Amino acid sequence: MKAGLVALFSLLVLVAQARPDSAPAPAASNRPNIVMYLSDDHGVDFVGCYGNPVVRTPNIDALAREGMKFNRMFAPSPTCSPSRASMFTGLWPQRNGTMGNHTDCTPGIRSLPDYLRALGYRVIAANKTDVRPRSVFDWEVLQATLPTDHKFRRCRDEGLDTAKVDAFLRAYVRKQPRQPLCLLLGDNGPHVVWETNKIYDPAALPMNPLLVDTPKTRLALANYYQDITTTDKRLGEVLASLKRYGLDTNTIFIYTTDQGAEWPRSKWTLYDAGLRVPFIVRWPGVLRPGSQCDALISLVDLTPTFIAIAGGTPPSDIDGVSFLDVMLGKATNCREDIFATHSGDGVMNMFPERGVRDLRYKYILNLHPEQEWTTHFTKVEGIPNSHAEVWRTWIDKAKSDAAAAHLIDLIVHHPKEELYDTQTDPYELTNLIARAEFEPVLDRMRKRLAQLREKSGDKDE
């Protein structure tokens, strides 16, 4: 006993000396494990507990009943790498260096594993992370990717191998480590190419105003729903493993995704369909089951929140702010607005834009409005019942359908400035930029975006 206490005291001293901006860690037994299940491209409109009456997400919905559902969580970017890099550094893309998809963070900056290890946590990432370089994101890696048929699965791997996660958790419990655990589980679903539909009736699927209703659209949408349900099944398997090994009681479990669905006016855009994400937290004995949070929060706030949960003090020189007090009911909000940015994806999706959103209004500045909006969805050929094949049916319908023609015009042509009232126009289809009564709002939002861009060192690119 005495030797164990001496060892623990020595560890705490070393941690405090190594990281002067982090508070000494409390005893490991008093700190929760943190497990986050991070899916890919799961739009908030496609989750049962967020109001979709058809999609089958029983495990995500159960989490919402057991924990807290966040209604205003937003990605800092509608693209994988920039969103995830911000999530794991607490810095906007302009400050961490990952502006475009599949680009590197600036060497030498600190990230989540660095912060949490300093507080005594073991930090492990499984399967998809989509951030680099490893010198910045130097977590332990758990190889947990399902075998993939690459002839079918273009653009992604199959998904998270939950059997590998189960084996890891079994070993973790058997060894009875003193270290609390931060386990980041990255699933490839429901990123394209979507799984072939098995359980949904395409004709019965609800169509939101961002979709042109054609038979091909419905077939593709059914595939997307199927992929969501399969991802939800893997989530359930992880939850079962945590319970099997007694790790469900002292564990904060989070489900979220990196950005919205891969449909037009969603992913790769700064509309809510591209930025607003599902975010659910289960924390037994701390968060009231079935509770909800309406505070405005960004995924850039995740790293400082994890630091606070681990007993540390978040750095003052990052962009993210901890929302732990909001979660615990000690505060009603942690920020007044969120900043969002999109640049591009290699040679695709090149339509740079910047935006700011408060509780009600969204302002978007398009840096190159002379360009037409094109993405993988409009350009990628050869995927049955998906993308360009679907897009062509929208173009054909627009020849005789005024509503379809109007939507396609909104998708392809973006003016220099856009202003939306997200309360009365949740799908952001009516640009208020020329309405005189909104000039005070426009002036305020313009100034706020200019401040955020200057603070982050943003450039017109």
**Which tens digit of pLDDT belongs to each residue from 149-168?**
877 787 888 999 999 999 99
Say whether pLDDT at 87 is over 70: yes
What tokens does 156 get? 């992604």
> Minimal CA–CA distance to 122: which of 171, 74, 163?
171
What pLDDT shows up at residue 126? 98
Say whether pLDDT at 28 is over 90: no
What tokens does 449 get? 């975006």
> What is the mean predicted confidence (pLDDT) over 67-72?
98
**What one-letter code names the amino acid at 343?**
S
What pLDDT shows up at residue 29? 53
Q: Beta strand pairing status for 297-298 and 338-342? A: unpaired
Catalytic residues: 80
Radius of gyration (C-alpha) of the chain in whole angstroms:
22
Q: Is 171 helix (H, G, I), strand (E, B) or coil?
A: helix
What pLDDT shows up at residue 108? 95
> Minimal CA–CA distance to 80: which of 154, 191, 5?
191
The DSSP output letter for 21 is: T
58, 233 Cβ separation under 8 angstroms: no
**Which tens digit of pLDDT belongs to each residue from 292-345?**
999 999 999 999 999 999 999 999 999 999 999 999 999 999 999 999 999 988
- Listed in sequence order, the residues at least 6 apart from 133 whose beta carbon sits closer than 8 Å to its beta carbon are 104, 105, 107
**Which tens digit of pLDDT belongs to each residue from 357-372?**
999 999 999 999 999 9
The DSSP output letter for 196 is: P
Q: What is the largest CA-CA distance in the chain?
A: 82
Percentages of the chain per state (helix, strand, coil), in multiples of 5: 35, 15, 50
- pLDDT band, very low/low/confident/very high, at 20 (cuts 50, 70, 90): very low
What counts of helices (H) and strands (E) characterise the chain? 14, 14
Query: CA-CA distance, 306 to 312, in Å (whole number)?
Result: 9
> Minimal CA–CA distance to 101: which of 349, 353, 440?
349
Say whether pLDDT at 17 is over 60: no
> What is the mean predicted confidence (pLDDT) over 390-398?
98
What tokens does 228 get? 């969501």
Say whether pLDDT at 27 is over 70: no
Say whether pLDDT at 3 is over 90: no
- The dihedral built from the CA positions of residue 442, 370, 409 and 351, taken in this order, carries a sign that is negative
What pLDDT shows up at residue 19? 37
Q: Which of 147-156, 226-235, 326-335, 433-442 has the lowest mean pLDDT?
A: 147-156
91, 319 Cβ separation under 8 angstroms: yes
Give the relative orientation of helices 302-309 and 80-89 as an angle to the nearest 10 degrees.
Answer: 30
Share of the chain above pLDDT 70, in %: 93
Cα first-last separation, the chain: 60
Say whether pLDDT at 460 is over 80: no
Query: CA-CA distance, 322 to 333, in Å (whole number)?
Result: 10
- The dihedral built from the CA positions of residue 17, 19, 23 and 25, taken in this order, carries a sign that is negative
Say whether pLDDT at 9 is over 50: no
What pLDDT shows up at residue 373? 92
Say whether pLDDT at 1 is over 80: no
For residue 80, count other CB atoms closer than 10 A to its CB: 23
Say whether pLDDT at 461 is over 70: no
> What is the mean predicted confidence (pLDDT) over 248-253?
96
96, 111 Cβ separation under 8 angstroms: no
